[in-house]
Structure 1
Amino acid sequence: MQEINPGASDVYVSDDAISGFRLKVTPKGKRVLFFQYRDADGRQRKLTFPPTTSVREARRLANAAGVKCDAGIDPQADKDRLEKTPTLAQAFETFDREYIPTELRASTASEYRRMFRRYIPKRLQDKRLCQVERRDIVELMRSLRGRPMQANNVLRFLSTFFNWCIGDGGLLYEKAANPTKGVKRYPDRKRSFVFESEELFRFAQALDEAEKTEWPFAISAVRLLLMSGMRKQEVLRLTWAEVDLQNRRIRLKTSKTGKRDVPLGSGAIRILQDLHAKRSAFPSEYVFPSPRDRRKPIIGFQKIWHRIRIAAGLPNLRVHDLRHNFGGFGAAATRSAVHVKGLLGHTQIGTTDRYMTLAETPLTQAADSVTEAIAAQMAPSNVVRIGGR
């Protein structure tokens, strides 16, 4: 390409070897290398190269762009796609608006929002969606290696998010790769928990003492968690419309596994009967109402739970451990995996139909066996004391 001096207006010089490759020289002497072409729709477009690009490199890029044009590909398609693609933060706003409210349960929706706010760093949120790569996700997982289970939950959430962006969300082109694909999860450390005799006795004492100072419905909620094997949110958001005392059932309208019936043993029935007797004094649609507003479910439960477990000398006890304990006692008392699955409402391929179609009587009997075993261990007479203490 020949040497050109500035003129009174822009001066253009075309390359003899590559059609469309040109040089523009402004009156002030600024030199601009670009490739001019027409896209598939016949529109004239210009691909401008950075000022630091040498003529030799610009010629190579222009030649590559020409090859794409001959193949019917717009050389600036990637650039256009990048400019039109939202950032990760903007994409999540759309995901939150269009997917989360209709496709997820309230608890899952809340957890997705929490994980995005807390664990997705600002530098990643500001990236264009199409610029997020697998290595970004790998780095995120490494940053959470101190909390492996939380890291795995974040990875599952991001996998769902990117699948939606590529699919129904239409925020990424269909052939885009999900950057979470192939990223290794941390090994799942399944935790099981069953109270030892003295631990359960201490826990029972802590509950009795807490009834003197804490919101009584919170203590009853803990007792029902212990005697039913239900999940925390299933209990805390339980309404009286879902309680069927006559048939000894809680008929949940929604749960982690969808609608399900929870068979109740005698221990759980006694708790609910006691609460039902108090309804006239504490009118509410919720079995465990908030102390501040009876129109809402209980609040502040986690703080009360923390005080109970500290008083029981079990500082690491989780609410979900009560469910594990119920399952453990269930396995020992019923010796039936099918009954335990039915009691806990688990869903597993190949076994779901088998335990979901169990007759109600065997499940009720199984629930009785479990709650009676738990109650027996809570009785002071079953605790062996050493040295008269």
Structure 2
Amino acid sequence: MNTHSDDVTEGVAGSELTAADAARLVANICEITRLKLPHESCSATLLTRIFDMGADAYEDATHSEVFGVAIEQFLLQKSDLRPDSYREYKAVLRRILRCSPDVGARSVRSLGAEACLKMITAAYNTASTVDKARRLLHCFFQYAMQRNWCRENPVARVWVRKRKELPIAVLNLDEICRLLRTVAQPEHSPCAAAVGLMLWCGLRPTEVTRLNWSEVDLEDRVVRVSRRVSKTGGARLVSIQPVLLRWLRRFRPENPGKEEVAPTNWTRRWHRLRAAADLLPWQSDALRHTFASYHLRHFDDIHKLQKEMGHSTAQLLFSRYLNMGYVTRKAAADFWNMTVLSKWDRHAPLEKGIQG
């Protein structure tokens, strides 16, 4: 009984191949293997590996999506994000396509780490923008894996230069007073409430632009940062300390209802305010860093601070937000008491004895 012949016959059953076709195919592959891999023995194990790799390559070429089309499908899937987040995805990914037009027609599955790195660096050249492009392209390939357009995320193997970490910016009391004095002027006063919430509640600039007055509860003395407002999508409550309560009572509009806290043209107004206060250049989230550092120094409660910042762990606070270098206990006390307000507004002394 010829068992090898039986195996071949069984193996091609149900296909368009005959046993003779299979034999010729194996012979051809053995010949190619001898030419291209002279040091390899043409064994059944090697042939199986070659067939498997060939099947994978065939699937890569035929069961994927064109990169340019896939990007648009990904953006459509992301269209329910907040407008600013969606704009960021759209701007970055479409810029990558514009700067590497030849890649748009390639299949997603054909793009490896080297191709991704070339795309990113063709579109961006600073450490921060390269880092952002890498992060968003990584999100795209995660989506592509879910759609079975690729087997792995090639961006995970892309190395980019690390951003140079600057010292964490924390305003000193003189700088804080200069900012408060400037924002209290009629030209800048529409920004006053938003500045107070960033300084004494640690809200991000993007969060104050989404916040409305119905979420600022002066009676319960809390700011309700809803999922709609929060950058990370997690709701939190932030205490309104007496110093902020006094500030908001002064600058809150009459019967604001659901009126937004930040004025229109916030981005331009906020930049002009910092320039007028002579606080440029400005490190991103400087008021949030200031809030965190003065809060921990004065209240000495890392868990409360963590909750009010909206962080799941304290590790991020210590690595990215806190700078205790020159925040003395006295400076922190001045920041949270009325002293910091009376310093900039000497002609309008603040009421004493407001309790938290």
TM-score above 0.5: yes
Residue 205 of structure 1 corresponds to 181
Q: Provide the rounded CA distance (Å) in 1 between the counterparts of 2:335 and 2:178.
A: 22
Residue 153 of structure 1 corresponds to 132
Residue 4 of structure 2 corresponds to none
TM-fit CA distance, 1:321: 1.0
The question of whether the paired residues in 2 share the 8 Å contact of 1:232 and 1:319 is answered with: no
Q: Provide the rounded CA distance (Å) in 2 between the counterparts of 1:234 and 1:70.
A: 55
TM-fit CA distance, 1:379: 5.2
Residue 6 of structure 1 corresponds to none
Q: Are residues 77 and 224 of structure 1, via their aligned partners in 2, closer, same or farther at CA, if it must alter by over 3 Å? A: closer
1:114 pairs with 2:91? yes
1:344 pairs with 2:309? yes
Q: Are residues 344 and 350 of structure 1, via their aligned partners in 2, closer, same or farther at CA, if it must alter by over 3 Å? A: closer
1:249 counterpart (205, 216, 222): 222
1:265 counterpart (219, 241, 244): 241
2:271 counterpart (306, 314, 338): 306
SS at match of 1:262: strand
Q: Provide the rounded CA distance (Å) in 1 between the counterparts of 2:204 and 2:110.
A: 39
2:156 counterpart (167, 170, 181): 181
1:278 pairs with 2:278? no
Q: What amino acid maps onto 2:241 in structure 1?
A: G
Q: Provide the rounded CA distance (Å) in 2 between the counterparts of 1:208 and 1:349.
A: 34
The question of whether the paired residues in 2 share the 8 Å contact of 1:137 and 1:179 is answered with: yes
1:334 pairs with 2:312? no
TM-fit CA distance, 1:162: 0.6
Residue 97 of structure 1 corresponds to 76
Residue 228 of structure 1 corresponds to 201
Q: Provide the rounded CA distance (Å) in 2 between the counterparts of 1:367 and 1:112.
A: 42
Q: What amino acid maps onto 1:334 in structure 2?
A: F
Residue 113 of structure 2 corresponds to 134
Q: Are residues 79 and 246 of structure 1, via their aligned partners in 2, closer, same or farther at CA, if it must alter by over 3 Å? A: same
Q: Provide the rounded CA distance (Å) in 2 between the counterparts of 1:188 and 1:93.
A: 33
Q: Provide the rounded CA distance (Å) in 2 between the counterparts of 1:69 and 1:127.
A: 28
Q: Provide the rounded CA distance (Å) in 2 between the counterparts of 1:40 and 1:370.
A: 83
TM-fit CA distance, 1:249: 0.9
Q: Are residues 317 and 72 of structure 1, via their aligned partners in 2, closer, same or farther at CA, if it must alter by over 3 Å? A: closer
SS at match of 1:339: helix
C-alpha RMSD of matched pairs (Å): 4.1
Q: What amino acid maps onto 1:222 in structure 2?
A: V
TM-fit CA distance, 1:323: 0.9
TM-fit CA distance, 1:266: 1.9
Q: Provide the rounded CA distance (Å) in 1 between the counterparts of 2:113 and 2:49.
A: 32
Q: What amino acid maps onto 1:300 in structure 2?
A: N
Q: Are residues 270 and 143 of structure 1, via their aligned partners in 2, closer, same or farther at CA, if it must alter by over 3 Å? A: farther
Q: Provide the rounded CA distance (Å) in 2 between the counterparts of 1:70 and 1:193.
A: 56
Q: Are residues 206 and 369 of structure 1, via their aligned partners in 2, closer, same or farther at CA, if it must alter by over 3 Å? A: closer
Residue 375 of structure 1 corresponds to 341
Q: What amino acid maps onto 2:182 in structure 1?
A: A
Higher normalized strand content (fraction of residues): 1
Q: What amino acid maps onto 2:270 in structure 1?
A: W
Q: 1:110-135, CA deviations, whole angstroms, 9 ceiling, x for partnerless residues?
A: 32223223455333444321222101
Q: What amino acid maps onto 1:147 in structure 2?
A: T
Q: 1:230-288, CA deviations, whole angstroms, 9 ceiling, x for partnerless residues?
A: 11122111123423222111122211341111111123323444455523xxx552332
Q: What amino acid maps onto 1:82 in structure 2?
A: A
1:164 pairs with 2:137? no
Unaligned runs of 5+ in 2: 1-11, 18-27, 37-45, 318-331, 348-356
Q: Which one has more relative contact order, counting CA pairs under 8 Å at least 6 apart?
A: 2
Q: Provide the rounded CA distance (Å) in 2 between the counterparts of 1:319 and 1:131.
A: 38
The question of whether the paired residues in 1 share the 8 Å contact of 2:334 and 2:340 is answered with: no
1:287 pairs with 2:287? no
TM-score normalised according to structure 1 size: 0.63
Q: What amino acid maps onto 1:201 in structure 2?
A: C
Q: Provide the rounded CA distance (Å) in 1 between the counterparts of 2:125 and 2:297.
A: 34
Q: Are residues 241 and 316 of structure 1, via their aligned partners in 2, closer, same or farther at CA, if it must alter by over 3 Å? A: same
The question of whether the paired residues in 2 share the 8 Å contact of 1:333 and 1:373 is answered with: no
Q: What amino acid maps onto 2:341 in structure 1?
A: A
Q: Provide the rounded CA distance (Å) in 1 between the counterparts of 2:246 and 2:154.
A: 52
TM-fit CA distance, 1:145: 7.5
Higher normalized helix content (fraction of residues): 2
Residue 218 of structure 1 corresponds to 191
TM-score normalised according to structure 2 size: 0.68
Q: Are residues 71 and 147 of structure 1, via their aligned partners in 2, closer, same or farther at CA, if it must alter by over 3 Å? A: closer
The question of whether the paired residues in 1 share the 8 Å contact of 2:183 and 2:273 is answered with: yes
SS at match of 1:160: helix
Q: Are residues 276 and 134 of structure 1, via their aligned partners in 2, closer, same or farther at CA, if it must alter by over 3 Å? A: same
The question of whether the paired residues in 2 share the 8 Å contact of 1:248 and 1:269 is answered with: yes
The question of whether the paired residues in 1 share the 8 Å contact of 2:196 and 2:247 is answered with: yes
Q: Are residues 219 and 349 of structure 1, via their aligned partners in 2, closer, same or farther at CA, if it must alter by over 3 Å? A: closer
